[in-house]
Amino acid sequence: MPNYADILKEIEEEIQPLFSQGKVADYIPALSTVNAEDFAMSIQLLYGKSYHIGNTQHKFSIQSISKVFTFTLALKAYGKELYKRVNHEPSGNPFNSLVQLEYENGIPRNPFINAGAIVTTDALTSIYKENTFHTILEFIHTLTNDSSIQYDETIFCSEYQHGYRNMALINMIKSYKNIHNEIDDVMQTYFKQCSVMMNTQQLAQSMLFLANHGTNPKANEALITPSQAKRINALMLTCGHYDASGDFAYKVGLPGKSGVGGGIVAVVPQKMAICVYSPKLNSQGNSLIGTKALELFTTKTNLSIF
């Protein structure tokens, strides 16, 4: 087994020259106040051990990483029925594009772009009604065995007040009748799930079930079927980084999902889950240093799925 502690140290050194690059998300004021120089990386092995470097206690808003949680819940609840409302193809477009929605009658390309995640949250809302966000949060508590995790009210309000593009998306989808609940109810939940605050330790822990055939390794509880876990991993590989998904697969070679808050999670099937945090983003909206750190990791450990 590789010496993960040493590898993390090497990575931390090698990424230093990159801190001058990238740009912290500033579409909402609450996000732009983070420390641009922050870096943290956590590795959670399937059985027990974990390795950490940097400020791994620092909580940041998980943003689009939440799409993995909501898609998991929706796939568990609806199975293949879900595919009628959201496809599973890479879009080739930015995370918030409306173009394909218009050409494809309101069926989002996949659940990891905003349009698809909004439909996913709407699907959960049809089941869990006013408890939808509570259900999502409880799922995160179960995955992390940590019920202290909450959303940040300031970020939530900020998202809500500036979320014109997302409001455009949901209205567009609703015009095609692919939103079944009240727009405001769905968007409140959507913006709350984006505002959930977690650190790299918690996020690495939370993704372990995807490295373990869908079973929470601590509780030994099957959350989803092995086949569903594989499919979520496949989706993270093909669609987890918007229009940089191909590049991430090419360079990192692991299923992963990024968030505009600076976090990226990645899964090594049967082995481990990883989370890296660094808030400066590349031009596609993914953590610039986070992406590089994961590339270094798979290069050093040879742990790519390919």
Q: What are the tokens at 66? A: 């939440």
90 binds a second copy (CB under 8 A): yes
Could you list the beta-strand ranges (E) of 133-289: 197-198, 215-216, 221-222, 256-258, 263-268, 272-277, 280-281
Q: Give the C-alpha distances (Å, rounded to integers) separating 76 from 124, 180, 193, 194.
A: 10, 19, 18, 20
**CA–CA dist 151, 160 (Å, integer):** 13
Distances (CA, A) of 70 to 17, 25, 270, 288: 36, 23, 22, 25
- Contact assessment for residue 7 and residue 15, using Cβ atoms and an 8 Å cutoff: no
**Pairing between strand 256-258 and 263-268?**
antiparallel
Which of residues 5, 99, 127, 219 is near a second copy by CB under 8 A? 99
257 contacts a second copy (rule: CB under 8 A):
no
Candidate residues 141, 231, 271, 300; the one interacting with a second copy per rule CB under 8 A: 231
Tokens read off for 31: 């996000």
Q: Which stretch binds a second copy (CB under 8 A): 13-21, 42-50, 92-100, 129-137?
A: 92-100
> Which window, 48-56, 57-65, 91-99, 273-281, contacts a second copy (CB under 8 A)?
91-99
27 carries a ligand binding annotation: no
Instruction: Please identify every residue annotated as catalytic.
Output: 64, 67, 190, 242, 260
Among 52, 59, 85, 109, binds a second copy (CB under 8 A): 109
Q: Is residue 245 at the binding interface for a second copy, with CB under 8 A as the rule?
A: yes
Question: Shortest distance, CB of residue 164 to a second copy, whole angstroms?
Answer: 4
Report the alpha-carbon distance of residue 164 to residue 169 in Å, rounded. 9
Q: Does position 175 bind a second copy by CB under 8 A? A: yes
Residue 51, CB-side half-sphere exposure with 13 Å CA sphere: 16
- Binding to a second copy by residue 87, rule CB under 8 A? yes
Task: Decide: is 161 part of the binding site for a second copy (CB under 8 A).
Answer: no
Is residue 283 annotated as involved in ligand binding? no
- Maximum separation of any 2 CA atoms in the chain, in Å: 54
Applying CB under 8 A, the span of 60-68, 93-101, 200-208, 285-293 interacting with a second copy comes to 93-101
Residues that bind a second copy (CB under 8 A): 87-93, 97-103, 109-110, 164-165, 167-169, 171-172, 174-175, 227, 229-231, 233-235, 237-239, 243-247, 249-251, 253, 255, 269, 299, 304-306
Q: Which residues are annotated as a binding site?
A: 64, 114, 159, 166, 190, 242, 260
Q: Which residues are annotated as a binding site for substrate?
A: 64, 114, 159, 166, 190, 242, 260
